């Protein structure tokens, strides 16, 4: 199995490459876990000529799980109704 040091090293390397890859618009595949990709929050322009890079106000990172991972999570999930939380503040 993988040691803690190995896993930590992989995560550190991933942290180094993720920003550049996502800024470039690349999809980052995480093996059988799924993939990370970038979407953008934009503001509309009045005309086609008004639309440019300044309309992009924020980049967002999305995760798309692998179908098998999602299926495994859903098949093992058990849902039940619980009592609502009560506010115990003053």
Q: Is the pTM of this model over 0.85?
A: no
Q: Pull the structure tokens for residue 87.
A: 């506010």
What pLDDT score does 2 carry? 64
What pLDDT score does 45 carry? 87
67/12 Cα distance (integer angstroms): 26
User: Whole-number mean pLDDT of the chain?
Assistant: 90
Q: Which of 55, 30, 32, 51 has the alpha carbon at shortest distance from 42?
A: 55
pLDDT digits (tens, 9 = 90+) for 45-83: 889 888 998 899 999 999 999 999 999 999 988 989 999
């Amino acid at each position: 199995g993988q040691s803690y040091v190995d896993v930590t090293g992989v995560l550190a390397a991933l942290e180094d490459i993720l920003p550049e890859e996502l800024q470039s618009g690349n999809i980052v595949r995480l093996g059988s876990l799924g993939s990370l990709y970038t979407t953008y929050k934009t503001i509309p322009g009045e005309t086609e000529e008004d639309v440019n890079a300044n309309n992009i106000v924020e980049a967002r990172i999305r995760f798309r799980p692998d179908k098998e991972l999602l299926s495994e999570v859903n098949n093992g999930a058990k849902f039940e109704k619980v009592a609502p939380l009560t506010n115990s503040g003053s």
